[in-house]
Structure 1
Amino acid sequence: MGIPWKSWEFHGNPGNPMEIPAIPWKSRQSRKSEIRRFPLVKQQQYKIIQEAKRTWLNINVDAHEKKYQEYEHQYQQDLKQFEFISSTHIDTNDTTLFNCFLLYIGHRIHRLKQEIYYEKLPVYRRKFVRLRRRLKPTKKNLVTIAPIIILDLIRHPFTVAELAYLSRGPTYIRPNQSALRPSGQREKQVDKKMNDIINKVKNYMANVYDGRSKIPTTVPMYKFYSERLRTYLLCRYMIPLPLMDQLRARRELKLDKSIRRKLKNYKLVLRETDKSGVLHIGHARDYERKAMEYREKTGAHEELTSNPLDEIFYQVIQLLNKLRSANKISVPQKLKMMPIRNKIELAYMYFLHKSHKKGTPLRPIINTIHAATTQISKHLDELIRPLFDRYARHTTIVDGVDLLSRLHKYIQNGYFNSSTLFVAFDITNLYTILPQEESLVILAEFLHVHHCDIIQGISIDTILDLGRIVPQANAFVYGKKFCRQIIGSAMGSVFTLTLANIFMWKWERQAILSKLPAHEFYGRYIDDIFFTCNESETKVKKWLESANQFHPNIKLTYTIAKSVPFLDVLVCNQNGILFSSVYHKPAAELSLLSFLSDHPRHVFRNVIQTALMRAIRYSSTFEALNIERRSIRLTLLLNE
């Protein structure tokens, strides 16, 4: 991949990159002094204008489509009338006048297509290019509708080409990266790829599937296959690139290096935004200030004086050995959860910018993929999540399709009417406020209630011992500091998700379900909750205010209406009839995978197919489907 967006630590408003003047060539100190805060008001103005232009474009496209449909309908009517009139006129060759007309129309349509493609489109393109050239002096006043990088700066050191490159989004991959490496590196890459494929094939063939016999890993066939595979990979990796592809690869590599250098020199931070789907650049000092404000506000982290990795490693080893000595876990289970010293490292913390919120606050993410407790976390998740999915399925919403399916069942049971209200709310900072010890107590209660005293030979007490070390040993690196999370758990640990779900299982039973009539529909997706209600809005508000005070850590924000969004679907009660459509969050940009990215071709097909299938499943009317189809088309056009 070109740039590992989430891992950049160089020392970040929606704004048009072309609108903000680049820093002229001066001394480093004078250039640094010119980087100032970009006014928040101007960001908001830009966003409003951008959304207005997108809305206006959709209105125009809709008007043209309706006009086209009118012409098509009129043509079909006239064609049927002509067919009826000409049905009695037959020439000497038994060919109807209607067939002759269709033949003529076919030739005429083909000629018009050729004329448009080869004559009119080039003329239109030249006119468009001339118009763009005339507008170039005033280009800084234009607002583009395409997704662009968010610059939290009034001035920046980046060129137009670099900003266009960054505007392709966090999923963009530079093409032909391996082709620019020395031949020795490419050969090592080929050997690594070949060994990976061969090992996977050997492991698969050495196991029995569907009654077939095993193939030993030592048979000579693998050597022959390895040689053939290496020859093929060398051919693919060593083949010279066409000139245009080589020029593009070198140009984008140069852009990549230039962006990295400028981020480092100007002490800027590049991050993916939380929900917008674009990148964000801001100043490192602003980033650090917001991170410090978050830590002081939540009090969830404490700073350590030394590296705690060895201490955590020995704590995990000691716990596993103790449990094994007491026969509370088996040898395979111990080996599965045992960390490997030369492969573990401290988790690291980074923040994502919430560019859609005032002041651009930060969302903390702790990457625990190589932490000492990761294997314990994964094993506990494998044990407990299937149980939660089974016993809490009736109150769990999987996705938008599941929500609509269960709403239709609610309608079929006769509970849905014109006065039915939809209620949606979410829990603020669930992972951060999750009480560690209380969550484990609720986990034990959940297992007791569902008679799961022993899970794959592991008792509840042992599960609690293992579960306790996951949040307690959650130490991480942030910048040059060692920290430990003392409240909540890491958003990035798989066990945290299961623990949060079980904590909410207890809360929802006491705070919501105890008041809600049994026939009403209720569902939750992690920290997002949805339910129906036929009571008055005032009474529902009292329920929610009471739920807001039920637990000191749980604070919620809610919406009560006959039309509410939930996840990615919008549901509406229009006089007792359910309407649904795809919902796009206001913060989300029209951003998809860039068509220029070096992803496998099937990925692009999957992106389009997924978007269309979602539109079909969510849209209750043909009009809603058409609106989403136009949105998909516009999004694809903007992500070139």
Structure 2
Amino acid sequence: MLSNTEYYEEIPNNNDKKTMQKIKNLLKRHKTTSSLTEKEEDFLTNYEYSESIFYGLPKIHKSRQIKEAIKSQCSEYIICPYPEDLTFRPIVGGPSAPTQRLSHLLDILLKPLCSGVKSYVRDDFDFLRHLPEKVENNSELVTLDVINLYSNISSSLGLEAVDYWISKNPEKINGRFTKDFISEATEIVLSNNTFAFNGKHFKQIKGTAMGTKMAPTYATLTLGYLEEKMYKKVEEQFNEEVKLYITNNWKRYLDDCFIVWKYSNNELSTFKTLLNELNPDIRFTAEESTDRIPFLDIMVIKENDVILTDIYYKPTDTHQYLHFNSCHPRHTKRAIPYNLARRICTIVNKETTKIQRLQELKEY
């Protein structure tokens, strides 16, 4: 991964001191315009920072070979040495990185803007509130996924998006902070994501700063900005009625998108092409079904014109939970089955299926 010079470059030394100095200079420049308290300045600059570490999390749920091994072995332990199709999600672990606290502040400042994004879904329970109870008989369930979203948001696009949302909803930003301060602070976080791997130092040169607190909010606002362009293009390509329908029914959690498509397959193909032309770096893949499709932890089911929801477990979920004889507090151990059951009761909206899922949970 780190040999890909489009996204990373090797640097000779640890740049953390220089990065912290940039943050201090930022605060000095905006001392009169953005009124941080002494405690806030102390929080941002006066702590023992350390270099981030780069590692990868295996995407087990996307490996076909591992899925097949789980299915065939039916065991608590799965033997699948060196699966050739196993890929990694890059992670930058830096809870004490020089930009982490500035990123935390930006996350607090920018998060209120997410409510202005029409497609914004907070979590799977929020998604349930947006699902229609009835749909047209011939409609399709469609999910779309953005390929490597964090890595492919260019800084210019992200900063443009942040500027757009602040200008559109200035009342949602704390009045003590100017747009210039937020833009400059965001640029510092994005352009100073450095880390160590295998005794060498690297810098991320493209994409959202991985491992940073503001990343999910920043990504939500950036895609929301592209969606504003998408609504206009839909009106040009189709008509006002289609635009209104998509505006009201297109829902997204970070890089996962969902819509019940009630128009023709040709129009769906046109819509997918339109999405992939919004930005050269942002690409969508789609899955379609006439009867059922997973989205987040929910299986969305269409029976004629009625929408039902069921709990969804990935094929690689082996239902291994904390052992009750572990040395955790008793209330923690009791909370696990309670919350798993509560999740089923919230998500599953058909009574017979709900009873079946609760019985399965009891057996797990």
TM-score norm. by structure 1 comes to 0.49
Which secondary structure does the structure 1 equivalent of 2:29 belong to?
Answer: helix
Paired residues for 1:37-52 under 5 Å: none
Deviation at 1:583, TM superposition (A): 0.8
Q: Quote the Cα distance in structure 2 between the aligned partners of 1:338 and 1:619.
A: 44
Aligned AA for 1:386?
P
Match of 2:119 among 391, 395, 398: 395
Deviation at 1:476, TM superposition (A): 0.8
Match of 1:310 among 6, 12, 17: 17
Match of 2:34 among 310, 328, 344: 328
**Number of the residue aligned with 2:229:** 510
Deviation at 1:588, TM superposition (A): 2.4
Q: Quote the Cα distance in structure 2 between the aligned partners of 1:613 and 1:539.
A: 39
Q: Answer yes or no: is the 8 Å Cα contact 2:112–2:172 preserved in 1.
A: no
Relative distance call for 1:530 and 1:333 in structure 2 (3 A) is farther
1:156-211 per-position Cα deviation (integer Å, ceiling 9, x unaligned): xxxxxxxxxxxxxxxxxxxxxxxxxxxxxxxxxxxxxxxxxxxxxxxxxxxxxxxx
Which secondary structure does the structure 1 equivalent of 2:104 belong to?
Answer: helix
1:467-521 per-position Cα deviation (integer Å, ceiling 9, x unaligned): 1101111111112111111011233211121111110101122235752441352
**Number of the residue aligned with 1:535:** 263
In structure 1, runs of 5+ residues without a counterpart are 1-293, 636-640
**Number of the residue aligned with 2:73:** none
Aligned AA for 2:249?
F
Q: Quote the Cα distance in structure 2 between the aligned partners of 1:307 and 1:371.
A: 11
Match of 2:329 among 573, 590, 600: 600
Q: Quote the Cα distance in structure 2 between the aligned partners of 1:338 and 1:529.
A: 35
Aligned AA for 1:573?
K
Matched, 1:300 2:7: yes
Deviation at 1:631, TM superposition (A): 2.9
- Count of aligned pairs: 333
Matched, 1:486 2:216: no
Which secondary structure does the structure 1 equivalent of 2:319 belong to?
Answer: coil
Q: Quote the Cα distance in structure 1 between the aligned partners of 2:145 and 2:5.
A: 18
Which secondary structure does the structure 2 equivalent of 1:356 belong to?
Answer: helix
Q: Quote the Cα distance in structure 1 between the aligned partners of 2:226 and 2:341.
A: 37
Aligned AA for 1:566?
F
Q: Quote the Cα distance in structure 2 between the aligned partners of 1:545 and 1:454.
A: 35
Q: Quote the Cα distance in structure 2 between the aligned partners of 1:320 and 1:558.
A: 44
**Number of the residue aligned with 2:141:** 422
Matched, 1:501 2:230: no
Q: Quote the Cα distance in structure 1 between the aligned partners of 2:280 and 2:5.
A: 14
Relative distance call for 1:333 and 1:444 in structure 2 (3 A) is farther
Larger radius of gyration: 1
Q: Answer yes or no: is the 8 Å Cα contact 1:301–1:485 preserved in 2.
A: yes
Q: Quote the Cα distance in structure 1 between the aligned partners of 2:229 and 2:178.
A: 27
Deviation at 1:455, TM superposition (A): 2.9
Q: Quote the Cα distance in structure 2 between the aligned partners of 1:513 and 1:569.
A: 30
Deviation at 1:373, TM superposition (A): 1.2
Relative distance call for 1:335 and 1:518 in structure 2 (3 A) is same
Relative distance call for 1:368 and 1:512 in structure 2 (3 A) is farther
Matched, 1:616 2:345: yes
Deviation at 1:337, TM superposition (A): 4.8
Relative distance call for 1:496 and 1:401 in structure 2 (3 A) is closer
TM-score norm. by structure 2 comes to 0.85
Match of 1:629 among 339, 346, 358: 358
Deviation at 1:438, TM superposition (A): 2.0
Q: Quote the Cα distance in structure 1 between the aligned partners of 2:270 and 2:323.
A: 47
**Number of the residue aligned with 2:61:** 356
What is the aligned-residue RMSD (CA, Å)? 2.1
Relative distance call for 1:438 and 1:573 in structure 2 (3 A) is same
By percentage of residues, which structure has more strand? 2
Q: Answer yes or no: is the 8 Å Cα contact 1:512–1:543 preserved in 2.
A: no
Which secondary structure does the structure 2 equivalent of 1:484 belong to?
Answer: strand
Aligned AA for 2:209?
A
Q: Answer yes or no: is the 8 Å Cα contact 1:437–1:468 preserved in 2.
A: no
Q: Quote the Cα distance in structure 2 between the aligned partners of 1:488 and 1:541.
A: 28
Which secondary structure does the structure 1 equivalent of 2:314 belong to?
Answer: coil
Relative distance call for 1:367 and 1:383 in structure 2 (3 A) is same
Matched, 1:371 2:97: yes
Q: Answer yes or no: is the 8 Å Cα contact 1:300–1:432 preserved in 2.
A: yes
Paired residues for 1:31-180 under 5 Å: none
Structure having greater relative contact order (Cα 8 Å, sep ≥ 6): 2
Q: Quote the Cα distance in structure 2 between the aligned partners of 1:351 and 1:345.
A: 19
Match of 1:380 among 106, 129, 139: 106
Q: Quote the Cα distance in structure 2 between the aligned partners of 1:524 and 1:588.
A: 24
Matched, 1:338 2:44: yes
